[in-house]
Structure 1
Amino acid sequence: MNARSWWLLISVGLGILLNPLNSSMVSVAIPRLQDGFQLDFTAVSWIIFSFYMASAVAQPVVGKASDVFGRRNLFLAGLLVTFAASLFAPVSPSFGWLVVFRVVQSIGTSMMVAVGMALVRIHITERQGTALSVLSIFLSGAAAIGPFIGGVIMYWWDWHAIFVVNIPFVAASFLLAWRTIPEDEPPTAAAGSTSFRTWMTRLDAPGIVLFTAGLIALLVGLLSAKSSGHVSLLHVIVGLIGLLLLAVFVRHELRTASPFIPLRTFAQYRAMTRVNVEFMLVNVVFYSLFFGLPSYLQTVRHVSEFHTGLLMLSLGLCSLVVSPLAGRWIDRSGPRPALLLSAILMTAGSVWIATLHQTTPVIRVCVALAAFGIGNGLNNVGMQAALFKSSPKDIIGVASGLFQTSRYVGTILSSLLIGIVMGGTFSFEGFRIVGVILAVIALSLVFMSLRGKESGPLQQSSRHV
């Protein structure tokens, strides 16, 4: 890659890291927010759930918009939206307004993730595995150090600074992106057909509304049940409404001339669909460990919060170390061997969880974390590379957005899995049952990797997409 490509990568990386950074930083601010707004944990937890929901919905929508309107301006717009949310959130007059600005922040950061991946796919045509490993370092590093940064901020300042800390990243990314991201090609709409109605037709506004309403209703039903600790009739009704709206959405997409999500294309490119399913399952496995292991360490092993944080930090550090190595391997051999090794490591780690006992040596905990961390590093690069190999270039925006939605759906499902198995209280036996379930899921990923078709190194395939 030349110098301009590297600077483009850095500008995109500084933007996309804001999404995982802000999704993980706020977790340590929950007690302070409870005290500041005089709310219980269930109410305050929506500061986390709202971010996940908005990201899951916004990324494919923004991806579709980037395919129609171009990517440079949308990336810059995402930075401006994030900047505005970071300024207004600290002065929120109520918790409701804070959630609103949190949703705006999620939309802004999601714009950069969906569009940033597409920018790399289009403008960096050589050594894409290496390029993806660099982006993975930004994404994984931000997720890994987010709780640490949040903890430092909570120690020295207050929750308001969690939003203000975004501003230097936004400024640096904006200046670099303005100089390094090439101008968008002119829209392909015919002359004289650029009316508002024409653009809405090209975007498939009805499809976007159905998708957004259906996914939000489904997630609200699921997450409300999770946060309240029980399933009520209202939760079931809201979830079913979401499923009904998504079914209507599918029917609409199959009939419209310019679909928001080209389902027929996904059916034609089955590898692209398989990648999204695999990525969702990978995140179910990874985040079940990420959410469950700290409770095991503190509740069962009585490890302090500080040492638990250090142990969990090793998970992210292993991902960071492996990511550049994975990029070089994928450049040479394609993504499938790396994904197979990742699935094997996650299967081994899940079996380890299923065979835990109350006196398991801490060194074995570190080995399991290393296995999951290495597997996560391979997956972060390998899955994105597999998506690039399997996606047509003209829909890479919406494909990248749906890919990130798969991540958030997997994250939410992992939280629901732990909640269903554990009930209201964490238990050692329940965590072992989770390990058995994860082992089955991880083993299915092994078989999916073995059955997946591979077409050689990433650069070779990307030239023919």
Structure 2
Amino acid sequence: MTSATKGSFDRRLLASMMLGAILNPINSSILAVSLVPIGIAFGAPPAQTAWLVGSLYLATAIGQPVVGRLIDLYGPRRLFLTATVLVGLAGVIGFLAPNLGTLILARVLLGFGTCAGYPAAMYLIGSEARRTGMRSPAGVLTALAVATQTITVIGPALGGLLISVGGWRATLAINVPLAIAGLALGARYLPRTAKSEGRVRDLVDLPGIVLFAPTLIALLVFLLAPRADRWYLPVLAAVLGGLFVRRELHAANPFVDVRVLAGNRPLILTYIRAVLAATVSYGFLYGVTQWLQDGRGLSAAAAGLVQLPVFGTGLIVSSLTGRNPQIRGKLVVASASQLVAATLLLVLTPARPVVALLGVMVVFGIPQGLNSLALQNSVYYQADPARIGSSAGLLRTAMYLGAMLASAATGAFFPTRADTPGLRELGWFLIAIAAAYLVVTLVDRSLSAIGRAPDDQGQVVRDMATTDSRGGR
């Protein structure tokens, strides 16, 4: 790749950045309208098809920070290309899957394959900002956020179209052309980076990764099917988590720098907000989409079309607010809007006219247009620049934890079918989560620093984090 003009962002990177970043959201949102047809095909209730959601997020929650850390050390090119091959392979296996177990395996492979896209994009934004001297790449960050949230919302409509044309298997097959496009763009435009000096085992905290993975597995498997007889899983997660923290405190090159993270209160609160926001977002996406088909009697294609106002509203909101560096106001409006949208689920019935459904979708589109952008920008300014890849990966891990909570909730509230009583129970659950999101946002004073002085906002936030770690706040 030839060098870009000094002082301007290399726009040739944008296509591969956007494509890599949307691979996970597109597979998440398309699945929302595929769950019912897949359940019918394999004779599986929602409690079992929920594993299709959970398996993707389980793999990605583990893989994103790991791959992000490797990208910090080795650059994005090789990891992006390798992961994209896995996406194509997962598409083939999913298309040919003879049973639910094989399909779950394909989703696990897909989860690992989509791990590199978002950390690679954040790494490239940071490296280009340093090269060009662009301290606040608001336009590029906005474009990335708009791309991921747009795909998340149009995914159900796209999934409905694919199902109407080629059945549910087409929703897996779409990954093959996406992978081919990703390989072509990545090989052509992603920069080659110099190899880091030293052996991999000296640079990469392998023991830390080995402890991190089973900690998350134990926790997320419990969340997928929380039952009293599985009490040992959260206990195991706590024990392994303690060992992980102890390891990271003494590691020369820790996978997660626990000391720095523990002192970075703004970043920790951002991760908490990501869990809460994603729980409401994915609970709405999966719960309402299944209810539209089971409870309202719509086809998969119609259920996807009903959600198009979410896309339109989210896109308008993102476009209007994207270049404004202020974060706190966006998060307050986003969390309040989620609270209103969750409350509206309590009044939905099969007899409600379509216009009422569309109104709920418009309300939900507001936080869709704000959350991704605000949370992403928060991490960009709050994280250590040398660990932006792994920090971005941990943001996605936090969001996938929320998605897993949402998946467990839909499985619990819809044990046999997505009926209206179950939708109301889901609504009350999402109201509680959205209220917690709003409270966490209102009490976080550090958010006011982002956007206060556009030329040095990142340094302001990092200075606050340093002060927090010294006990100054």
Instruction: State whether TM-score is above 0.5.
Output: yes
Change beyond 3 A, Cα 1:37–1:431? closer
Task: Tell me, yes or no, if the aligned pair for 1:11 and 1:173 is still in contact at 8 Å.
Answer: yes
Superposed, 1:241-280 pairs within 5 Å as: 241-280=236-275
Greater CA deviation, 9-18 or 410-419?
410-419
Change beyond 3 A, Cα 1:39–1:375? closer
Q: CA deviation at 1:60?
A: 0.7
Superposed, 1:111-260 pairs within 5 Å as: 111-124=116-129, 126=134, 128-187=137-196, 189=197, 193-194=198-199, 199-225=200-226, 231-233=227-229, 235-260=230-255
Change beyond 3 A, Cα 1:32–1:253? same
- Counterpart of 2:55 in structure 1 is 50
Pick aligned residue for 2:82 from 70, 74, 77: 77
Change beyond 3 A, Cα 1:321–1:185? farther
- Counterpart of 1:461 in structure 2 is 457
Structure 1 distance, partners of 2:294, 2:272, is 33
Q: CA deviation at 1:175?
A: 2.6
Runs of at least 5 residues in structure 2 that lack an aligned partner in the other structure: 463-473
Instruction: Summarize deviations over 1:238-282 as a string: whole Å, max 9, x none.
Output: 332223212221222122222111111112222111111111111
- Counterpart of 2:435 in structure 1 is 440
Q: CA deviation at 1:69?
A: 2.0
Q: What one-letter code is carried by the residue in structure 2 that aligns with 1:72?
A: R
Task: Tell me, yes or no, if the aligned pair for 1:129 and 1:328 is still in contact at 8 Å.
Answer: yes
- Partner SS state of residue 256, structure 2: coil
Greater CA deviation, 124-133 or 359-368?
359-368
- Counterpart of 1:304 in structure 2 is 298
Q: CA deviation at 1:109?
A: 1.0
Greater CA deviation, 141-150 or 48-57?
141-150
Q: CA deviation at 1:40?
A: 5.4
- Counterpart of 2:468 in structure 1 is none
Output the TM-score relative to the length of structure 1: 0.85
- Counterpart of 1:228 in structure 2 is none
- Partner SS state of residue 346, structure 1: helix
Runs of at least 5 residues in structure 1 that lack an aligned partner in the other structure: 226-230
Output the TM-score relative to the length of structure 2: 0.83
Task: Tell me, yes or no, if the aligned pair for 2:335 and 2:435 is still in contact at 8 Å.
Answer: no
Change beyond 3 A, Cα 1:368–1:26? closer
Task: Tell me, yes or no, if the aligned pair for 2:346 and 2:424 is still in contact at 8 Å.
Answer: no
Q: What one-letter code is carried by the residue in structure 2 that aligns with 1:386?
A: S
Change beyond 3 A, Cα 1:418–1:69? same
- Counterpart of 1:416 in structure 2 is 408
Task: Tell me, yes or no, if the aligned pair for 2:76 and 2:190 is still in contact at 8 Å.
Answer: no
Pick aligned residue for 1:336 from 306, 328, 335: 328
Change beyond 3 A, Cα 1:178–1:124? farther
Greater CA deviation, 128-137 or 166-175?
166-175
- Counterpart of 1:12 in structure 2 is 17
CA RMSD in angstroms, aligned pairs only? 3.1
Q: CA deviation at 1:402?
A: 0.3
Instruction: Summarize deviations over 1:278-330 as a string: whole Å, max 9, x none.
Output: 11111122233333444666677x46345543332211332223223222122
- Counterpart of 1:452 in structure 2 is 447
Task: Tell me, yes or no, if the aligned pair for 1:385 and 1:458 is still in contact at 8 Å.
Answer: no
Q: What one-letter code is carried by the residue in structure 1 that aligns with 2:154?
A: I
Task: Tell me, yes or no, if the aligned pair for 1:352 and 1:435 is still in contact at 8 Å.
Answer: no
Q: CA deviation at 1:446?
A: 4.2
Q: CA deviation at 1:436?
A: 4.0
Task: Tell me, yes or no, if the aligned pair for 1:14 and 1:170 is still in contact at 8 Å.
Answer: no
Instruction: Summarize deviations over 1:174-221 as a string: whole Å, max 9, x none.
Output: 33333333222441x3xxx42xxxx22421111111111111111112
